[in-house]
Structure 1
Amino acid sequence: MQQQPTLAAVDLGSNSFRLQVARVEGDQLYMLDGLREPVRLAAGLTADKYLDAAAQQRALDALGRFAERLRGLPRAAVRVVGTNSFRVAKNAGDFIPQAEHTLGFPIEVIAGREEARLIYLGVAHGLPPSKDHLLVIDIGGGSTEFIIGNGLTPLKLESLYMGCVSFSNRFFPDGKITKQNLKQAELAARVELQTIVAGYKGQWQQALGSSGTAKAIADILELNGYCENGITRNGLEKLRAHLLKVGDVQQLDLEGLRPDRIPALAGGFAILYAAFCELDIATMSPALGALREGVLYDLWGRFHNNDMRDVTVRQFMQRYHVDTSQAARVAKLANLFAQQFLGMEAADSALQMLHWMSSLHEIGISVAHSGYHKHTAYILANADMPGFSRKEQARLSLLALAQRGSLDKLQGQLKNTEDCVLATSLRLAVLFYRNRGDIPLPELHGHFSGTKFHLTIDADWLSRNLLTETALHEEVRQWKTLGVSMQIVAA
C-alpha cells in the first residue's frame, strides 16, 4: 500500500467524539490538529439499550463537522472506531449507515480488549523508554479499560462495563451527590474491579490515566490545591469531601472544571476512586496519548507492513496447531480464483481478507474434526483478535462457515458480490486440495460475469479425478440453492 503523507483517526467514544490528524515523515508520526465534540452518546442509551433520537442527532452533527476536516483524504488513510455505546446499542446496525454516510468513511466497531490494546499503543508511544511495568486506566463514557504493559507491549488487557456517563446517569441522574449514592457508585465500581484485582494488583510500577476523566481530575486537584502534581489518594479524598459538601454537580465551583465535563464528573470520580482503593494506587500521572493516537500508530503500522492483524493470524495458526502446508496451498489457489473471478476489480483488502481466512480455515479442527468449519466460525466470531474490528471478525466467521458443506445455512447472509466471490474461491480451493497433498493441478480458468461463475478445466484431468468432478457438480447444485449460477466446462 502506498504511504500517505497524512493519516487521521476518529474515536467515536461514549462521552466524546475525537478526531486526530497526523503527518508521516519517514519513520516518524507527527501529531497535527485535533477536534473534540462532547457528544455524550452513552447518555442517549435508553434503559433497553437503544440510542435515542437526540443522541443520534448530536452524533450526526459532530460527524458532519469532522467530515469537513477529513475531506480529500483517501479512505486508506483514515480509520474510524466506535467503542462501548456502539457495542451495546441494539439499534447500532440502523444508525451506523447514517453515520458513515455523514462522515464519508466506514466505521469499525471494536471489542473492549481491542480498544484497550489501542489505548496502550497510544500511551506507550508518548513515553520515554522505561523498564517499568505500566498500569494504564482509561475511563470512557460507557466502559473503562485497564492495561498492564511494558515498553510497547501490552501484557494484560481488560475492559469493564462501567463508564463516567453510564455511572453518572445510573447513580447521579439529577446531579445530586449524597453519601449514599456516592458510596453506591463506588461499591458498584469495586464489584466490577473484583474480576481483575488478583491479576493486576502489585503487577506494575507506574500508573497512568489516559482518559479525559483522569486529565480533568488531575487539573482540578492541582488548580484547587488538593495536590501538587498528578492524582494522589489524598487529593482524591479532599475532592470527595468537597463533592459531598457541595452536593450538586451544577453548583460546583472548581478551578479547571470545564462545563462539558460537569455532567459526567461524579460517575468518573467514583470509578477512579474505586480503582485507587482496589488496586492500591498511591499516585497516578495523566498520559499524553490515548485511543485516537493508538489508532493512528496502528494505521501507520499497516502502511509499514507491520499490520497487527497479520501478527494475530500467525499467533492463531500456532495456537490452534494449523497445518501450515495445507493453509498455504489453499491460500495460493483461493487467491488465484479470486483474482480471476474479480479481474481488475480485485481489491487488496478483499484479497487480504481471503488470505487471512485461508490461513485460519482449519483452526476449528482443534475442537473436533466433525463440523470443524462451524467451530472455526465460532472461534473467529467470538475470540479476542487484536487488530481486527468486530465487522472484520464477523466477515471471517461467515467465510469460515461457507467453506464447505451445504450452503442453505447462508441464505440471506452473502449480501454482496465480493463476499460471494471470496466464499466461492475458498470453497473451490478447499475442494481441489481435499487430499491435503501437493498434487499437480491442471490449468484453471475462472470468470465471473456478475451473475454467473464459469470454471474451465482440462477434460482429461477431470476424467482421471472422478471424485473432484463429482464434488464440482455438487458445488454447482449447492450454489443454485442460493440463486447463484455456476458452470463447469471441461475443455
Structure 2
Amino acid sequence: MAHRATAAPRTGPWLDVDGPRGSGAGGEEVAPRRAPPRGNFAALDLGTNNCRLLIARPEGERFVIVDAFSRIVRLGEGLSATGRLSDAAIDRTISALMVCAEKLRRRRVVLSRSVATEACRQAANGAEFVARVAAETGIMLDIISAREEARLAVLGCQALLEEGDGPAMIFDIGGGSTELVLLEGKRDNLRIIDWLSAPLGVVSLAEAVGGHGDGPAERLAAYGQMLRRMREAFAGFAARLPARAPVRLLGTSGTVTTLASVHLGLPRYDRAAVDGLIVPAASMREIAARLSSMSLDERMSLPCIGDERADLVVAGCAILESILDIWPADRLGVADRGIREGILRALLDSASSRQLG
C-alpha cells in the first residue's frame, strides 16, 4: 500500500526547504510578491499522539492567529503491536476532528491543508481511516511522507534558530517518529544537507519498552533500554554528522516544551514564555534524569506534565538525551511551533504565486 512505511529509518540529502518553488533560500519569512487572498487559512496536523489545528489570517508576510485547537488523541496507541489503528483510537480521533471541522466552517476558511503522519503511514488500515474521516467530517487528510514532514517542521520553526554560520540541527520528537534535520548556512539562507526519520517517537518507544512505571531499579533499566534503542536508531545518521563542534540546536515537540516548562518552574504551561527560549543542554539532561527516576504518580503531580503526558514524557526524555549525545550543543532552542506553521507558510507562498500566474 502506498501509504505504508517500512520499519527502516528514512534518510535523504539536499531536502528543499522551500518546496516546489525551490528558490534554495529556505527562509521562514519569505515575503510574497503580492497580497494573498482575503480570508482565513488553516493547517491541521494529525500525529500519532496529538491532533492540532491552527487557523490564521495572513497579514503581509505574517499571520495573525484566529483560532487554535489541540487534543491528545493517541491515534497510534497499540499500533506497534497490531499494525492497525484501533477502533477506540479512531473514535477518539474522529471526535477531535469533528471539533476541527466545525471550527473550519465557523471561521470561513478559504485555504487549508490537513496532514497525517507516522501512525497513518504505518497502519494497514491508514487509507481506510482517511476515507472514514472524509465521509464523517469532510476533512481530507493527506498522509505525507517522512521527507515532507521534516520539511514542514523546519519551515515552521526555523525562524527561531540561533544566528550563525556553522552547522545546525532541527529536530521534531513526535508520537510515532523522530525527525532530525541537518542544516548549514545563515538562518535566512539555510540548506538542508541531510535528514533522518527514525520510526520511534514517544508513543512507540514507550510501548516498546515496559517497566518505566515500576520500582527504581526497573525504571533505571527501562530508561537505559530506551537510550540504547535510540542510539541504534540514530547510529547511521550520527556517523554522517560533521566532525567539527556542533553550533546550533533547535527542538520542536511536546517533549522539549514540557521540559522547558519544568526548567522555568511554571505553574502551568505558558507558550509565550517557552516559544523561543534558549535552555542550557545540561539543564535539560538533569531534568530528563530526574523525570526518568520518578514514579508515574510523581510525574503526574508535576505542573505542565499531569495525567496526559506523565506516561510518555520518559520516552521523550530518552529521545532528547540521545539527540544531545550525537549533537552535543551547549544549549538548546525551544520551539512551540512546527508542522502547522510550516503548512501556513507554504499555503501563503503558494497562494501568492498563483495570483502572479
TM beyond 0.5? yes
**Change over 3 Å in CA distance of 1:182–1:298 after alignment to 2:** same
Q: Any gaps of 5 or more consecutive residues in structure 1? A: 308-347, 349-491
Distance in 1, matches of 2:140 and 2:170, equals 28
Tell me, yes or no, if structure 1 residue 251 matches structure 2 residue 298. yes
The corresponding residue for 1:85 is 119
Give the alignment's TM-score, normalised by structure 2.
Answer: 0.77
Is contact 1:46–1:52 with CA below 8 Å preserved after alignment?
no
Measure the CA separation in 1 of the matches of 2:59 and 2:288: 46
Specify which structure has the higher proportion of strand. Answer: 2
Q: Is the 8 A contact 1:6 1:23 kept in 2?
A: yes
Corresponding residue for residue 215 of structure 1: 257
Note closer, same or farther for the CA distance 1:30–1:127 as it changes in structure 2 (3 Å cut). Answer: farther
Pairing 1:281–2:329 present: yes
Structure 1: distance between partners of 2:288 and 2:158: 30
Q: Do the aligned residues in 2 keep the contact of 1:126 with 1:289 (CA within 8 Å)? A: no
The alignment yields a C-alpha RMSD, in angstroms, of: 2.8
Matches of 1:119 and 1:268 in 2, distance apart?
17
Residue 295 (structure 1) aligns with: 343
SS of the aligned residue for 2:82 comes to coil
CA shift for structure 1 position 33? 2.4
Identity value in percent: 27
Is the deviation greater in 183-192 or in 73-82? 73-82
Q: How does 1:87-486 map to 2 (within 5 A)?
A: 87-126=121-160, 131=165, 133-149=167-183, 150=185, 151-152=187-188, 153-155=190-192, 156-172=194-210, 175-176=213-214, 178-201=219-242, 202=244, 204-223=246-265, 230-246=278-294, 248-252=295-299, 253-305=301-353
Of 174-183 and 90-99, deviating more is 174-183
What residue identity is the alignment partner of 2:53? L
Report the residue type matching 2:297 in the other structure.
Answer: Q
Query: 1:286 is paired with a residue of what secondary structure?
Result: strand
Q: What is the CA deviation profile of residues 110-150 of structure 1, one whole-angstrom value per residue up to 9, with x for unaligned ones?
A: 11111000000001245686545431111000001111234
Paired residues of 2:40 and 2:111 also in contact (CA < 8 A): yes
Aligned partner of 1:7 in structure 2 is: 41
- Opposite residue 54 of structure 1, the aligned amino acid is A
Deviation at residue 217 of structure 1 after TM alignment: 1.1
- Measure the CA separation in 2 of the matches of 1:178 and 1:268: 14
**What is aligned with 1:30?**
64
More helix by share: 1
The amino acid of 1:279's aligned partner reads: W
Give the aligned partner of residue 69 of structure 1.
Answer: 103
Letter in 2 for 1:208: L
Secondary structure at the aligned position of 1:43 is classed as coil
SS at match of 1:243: helix
Question: Relative to structure 1, is the Cα distance of residues 59 and 139 closer, same or farther in structure 2, using a 3 angstrom cutoff?
Answer: same
Alpha carbons of 1:306 and 1:223: their partners in 2 closer, same or farther (altered >3 Å)?
A: farther
Residue-pair matches, total: 304
Measured in 1, the distance between the counterparts of 2:71 and 2:121 equals: 20
Separation (CA, whole Å) in 1 of partners of 2:93 and 2:335: 26
Amino acid in structure 2 at the alignment position of 1:33: D
Which structure has the larger Rg over C-alpha atoms? 1
Quote how far apart the aligned CAs of 1:274 are: 1.0
**Partner residue in 2 for 1:49:** 83
CA offsets per residue over residues 377-408 of structure 1, 9 Å max, x none?
A: xxxxxxxxxxxxxxxxxxxxxxxxxxxxxxxx
